[in-house]
Amino acid sequence: MSDTILKVESVSKKYSRSLRHSMLYGTVDIARNFFGFSHKPEVLRKTEFWALDNISFTLKRGESLALVGSNGSGKSTMLKMLNGIFMPDKGRISIDGRVAALIEVGAGFHPLLTGRENIFVNGQILGMSISEIKKKFDEIVAFSEIESFLDTPVKNYSTGMYVRLGFSIAVHSPSDILLVDEVLAVGDLSFSIKCMKKMAQFRENGGSLVLVSHAMHNVKNQCDHAIWMEKGVLRELGDSVDVADKFEQYMLNRNADHDGEIINVDPNVDIISFDHDNDIQQGESVTFEIKIVFKRKIIEPIFMIHMHSSTNDSLLFSHYSNCEGYSWDSLDGEFILKIKTTSLNFKEDEYPISFYVSEKEVNNHLLWHQKMYILRIKKKSDIYGLVDVSPEFSVHH
């Protein structure tokens, strides 16, 4: 048995920006294939572009790989090709084993069927036999924690319940490779931790993992290697920590072009006020009270707050509501968001604060307040360095 379980060789995938042209090209290509006529997949036709361009990588058994990048970089397209949903226009994908995938919330579920019935439907889509599903049924239900809703049609499930059931079916299927998209970000913190432990156990048992994530701490903790793609082109391939650090710095520098700006991508989202204690002492916590109005229903809103160094623009903290275990199916109208930190033991200085609002995905920004606010920390004692760790000194003979 080969040590390599997944091999992607010079893979490219093109899309059309026009639905009408896309349907036309698809019909023409099917007709050409049916009648045995050759076509040139390497040639871009009108309105077409390369969603992925000449991507190559390998994955060994038991290893884990993260796909990172900005929105539109091609991560989800690559994952769907690995799952066989899309075929590459150029190149080749070789997989030596069974694949289980959790790519989209509710994928493979029939909304009118109950959770119980969908376990059997989704399990068979993932290649499980009826006897395999029956054998794993109790484990799937127990892990998903939806026992009391098992005989409820899934159309009545929340997004989090969809994720629980979908992930539980995927991770309990007899597979060699597990493909996971960012869908875990919508779950609560306790279930996300449970999923991470299950994926680690999957790997310990010899399984391989491909993870698409905007949460760099998950990339660093869960994956051996990472691929950073931008606009369909492979930009970095290597150790997960190194690649994640480079991607975070890239995103930080990109946002720095808008320092001191308010950018409303969606006019239906607005911040009425952003209140906090402007001056605090070293070691004190701070509470941010942000009055927000959503003039439409925002699905799965994500709130992000960052504190920057005033000297080298590094991030001192960067927190995302979904990664901290706080999620909402939807919000609308006017409300107050409170964010309370732990004690901030930083040296005396002025620290810029940024605040973002996104929908469904971390990088799907609806509003940016880039370095719009200042937090002043006043010294309690002189420290040399950035952080006061309050050390205790003792001498022992």
In a domain, 9, yes or no: no
- What is the pLDDT at residue 383? 66
Residues 277 and 250 grouped into a single domain: no
- What is the pLDDT at residue 2? 65
Residue 308: how many other CB atoms lie within 10 Å: 22
- What is the pLDDT at residue 335? 94
Residues 229 and 299 grouped into a single domain: no
370-390 burial, b if ≥16 CB within 10 A, otherwise e?
Answer: bbbbebebeeeeebeeeebee
In a domain, 71, yes or no: yes
Tens digit of pLDDT per residue, the chain (397 long)? 568 899 999 999 988 877 777 787 777 777 777 777 776 777 778 888 888 999 999 999 989 999 998 877 888 889 889 988 888 888 999 998 888 887 766 667 888 899 899 899 888 887 788 999 999 999 999 988 888 899 999 888 887 788 888 888 888 888 889 888 865 555 566 777 778 788 888 888 888 999 988 777 778 888 899 999 988 899 999 999 899 888 877 776 666 555 666 778 888 999 999 999 888 888 889 999 999 999 999 998 999 999 888 776 677 888 888 878 788 989 999 999 999 998 888 888 889 999 999 988 777 788 888 888 999 988 776 666 777 677 776 577 7
- Of 206, 231, 254, which residue sits at a domain end? 254
> Vertex 160, ends 322 and 155: CA angle to 5°?
145
**Which residue type sits at 373?**
Y
Residues 269 and 229 grouped into a single domain: no
Alpha-carbon distance of 108 to 119, in angstroms, equals: 10
Residues 351 and 207 grouped into a single domain: no
Tokens of 59: 């994955």
Residues 139 and 225 grouped into a single domain: yes
- Of 254, 285, 316, which residue sits at a domain end? 254
Q: Which residues form the domain of 329?
A: 260-378
Residues 294 and 149 grouped into a single domain: no
pTM of the model: 0.65
Residues 268 and 239 grouped into a single domain: no
In a domain, 25, yes or no: no
In a domain, 29, yes or no: no
In a domain, 160, yes or no: yes
In a domain, 326, yes or no: yes
Crossing angle of helices 189-204/159-172, nearest 10°?
A: 10
- What is the number of structural domains in the chain? 2
Residues 297 and 192 grouped into a single domain: no
Residues 281 and 242 grouped into a single domain: no
Q: What Å distances lie between residue 14 and 9, 69, 134, 236, CA to CA?
A: 16, 18, 41, 21
DSSP category for residue 394: -
Residues 216 and 106 grouped into a single domain: yes
In a domain, 42, yes or no: no
- What is the pLDDT at residue 138? 92
Tell me the CATH number at 224: 3.40.50.300
Residues 89 and 182 grouped into a single domain: yes
Cβ atoms of 157 and 119 closer than 8 Å: no
Who's near 51: CB < 8 A, 6+ residues apart?
Answer: 13, 14, 15, 74, 77, 232
Residues 238 and 347 grouped into a single domain: no
- Of 254, 275, 290, which residue sits at a domain end? 254
Alpha-carbon distance of 195 to 294, in angstroms, equals: 31
Tell me the CATH number at 295: 2.70.50.60
In a domain, 185, yes or no: yes
Sign, CA dihedral 102-107-109-115, equals: positive
